[in-house]
Amino acid sequence: MDQRTKLRMEARAKVLKAMAHPSRLFIVDTLANGECSVAELTKLIGCDMSTVSKHLAQLKAAGIVSDRREASQVFYSLTAPCVMGFFDCIENVLRQGLQTQIELVDAVVERN
Amino acid sequence: MDQRTKLRMEARAKVLKAMAHPSRLFIVDTLANGECSVAELTKLIGCDMSTVSKHLAQLKAAGIVSDRREASQVFYSLTAPCVMGFFDCIENVLRQGLQTQIELVDAVVERN
DNA sequence: GGCACACTTGACAATTTGGCCAAATGGCCA
DNA sequence: TGGCCATTTGGCCAAATTGTCAAGTGTGCC
């Protein structure tokens, strides 16, 4: 892998890595319906606010969300709505994986 | 986040995490052009074959690639070509992030 | 100024990940 | 069977990730 390709893959990986966490996926899913304050997200997720704040910082660093201050609250919103398009494909992969597992079990049952 | 949602997000995260690594992204990109043996991929990536094998195992566990044995070689191919659709969006996010940085620099220059 | 509120950051421990080496496995052929 | 080749697996260590608590920052209000 030449240097140029490596750098491009690293940049891409950074974006994917930012989304590759249950809480952060949930945040993205939630923000797709409109902006949210950190407190709201914290309540929905159910863990420490500092944890949520750090997840949001990661998403922001990746360019997936952006923040807006209003008085003492900070509202986050989705700046890259195209990531919502990932979910259809991911659900497909999950379904396909499940199907494969069923087939494997069937094959074992068949054999016995 | 209720249990059901949490499980779904974890499943989705597993698929994304499988792709969220430079070498694994490169593998996916390469396999999009047709199947490859582990040795070929190892040569292209330029690290230990055992490392590549483990990356492939992760992609396979996530249901993104599948393997086919032919004599002593193992050929991998992309079973979820829809993941290629991620790249357009990711490139968008990266471009947008770059643009944002330029604007920030401009703002600083403006101020001085 | 001082206080309360929403949020972010730093320090830290626990867990996971990534890479290499060496050893094991699987399949072909003499 | 034994040897060879491609690949996988296990052991190990360094580095990255995650979460929590405590302390810090920023904003509005009295």
The rounded average pLDDT for each run of 10 residues, N- to C-terminus, in chain B (112 residues) is: 95 98 98 98 97 98 97 97 97 92 78 64
* Own/partner pairs, A62-70, CB within 8 angstroms, 24+ separation: A62/A14, A62/A15, A62/A17, A62/A18, A62/A19, A62/B93, A62/B97, A63/A15, A63/B93, A63/B94, A63/B96, A63/B97, A63/B100, A64/A15, A64/A18, A64/A19, A64/A28, A64/B93, A65/A27, A65/A28, A65/A31, A68/A35
Sequence-distant (6+) residues with CB within 8 A of A40 are: none
Residue among B15, B26, B100 whose CB faces A94 most closely: B15
Task: Identify the DSSP state of A39.
Answer: H
Q: What is the pLDDT of residue A102?
A: 86
pLDDT confidence tier of residue A105, bands split at 50, 70 and 90: confident
Amino acid at residue number B67 = D
Cα separation, B58 vs B17, whole angstroms: 9
Q: Following CA atoms A40, A41, A42, A44 in sequence, which dihedral angle do they give, to the nearest 10 degrees?
A: 90
Q: What is the pLDDT of residue A61?
A: 97
Q: Which two tokens stand for residue B9?
A: 């997000």
Q: What is the pLDDT of residue B111?
A: 64
Q: What is the pTM of this model?
A: 0.93
Q: What is the pLDDT of residue B105?
A: 79
Q: What is the pLDDT of residue A64?
A: 98
Nearest chain B Cα distance for residue A30, angstroms: 11
Inter-helix orientation angle B38-45/B49-61, to 10°: 110
Task: Identify the DSSP state of B32.
Answer: T
Q: Which two tokens stand for residue A1?
A: 């892998």
Q: Following CA atoms A45, A47, A48, A54 in sequence, which dihedral angle do they give, to the nearest 10 degrees?
A: -60
Sequence-distant (6+) residues with CB within 8 A of A83 are: A19, A28, A64, B89, B93
Count Cα atoms within 13 angstroms, Cβ side, for A56.
25
Task: Give per-residue pLDDT as tens, A25-79.
Answer: 999 999 999 999 999 999 999 999 999 999 999 999 999 999 999 999 999 999 9
At residue A111, does pLDDT exceed 70?
Answer: no
Q: Which two tokens stand for residue B71?
A: 């004599």
Percent of chain A with pLDDT over 90: 86
Which nucleotide in the DNA or RNA is closest to residue A50, CA to C1'? Answer: C8
Task: Give per-residue pLDDT as tens, A9-26.
Answer: 999 999 999 999 999 999
What residues of chain A lie within 8 A of the CB of B11, using their CB?
Answer: 94
Q: What is the pLDDT of residue B112?
A: 64
Task: Give per-residue pLDDT as tens, B53-72.
Answer: 999 999 999 999 999 999 99
What residues of chain B lie within 8 A of the CB of A26, using their CB?
Answer: 1, 5, 9
Count of CB atoms within 10 A of residue A54's CB?
13
Distance of C1' in D12 from CA in A42, Å: 39
At residue A92, does pLDDT exceed 90?
Answer: yes
Q: What is the pLDDT of residue A103?
A: 81
Going through chain A in order, the beta strands assigned E by DSSP cover: 36-37, 65-70, 73-78
Q: What is the pLDDT of residue B86?
A: 97
Q: Which of residues 63-92 of B touch A (CB under 8 A)?
A: 63-64, 79-80, 82-83, 85-92
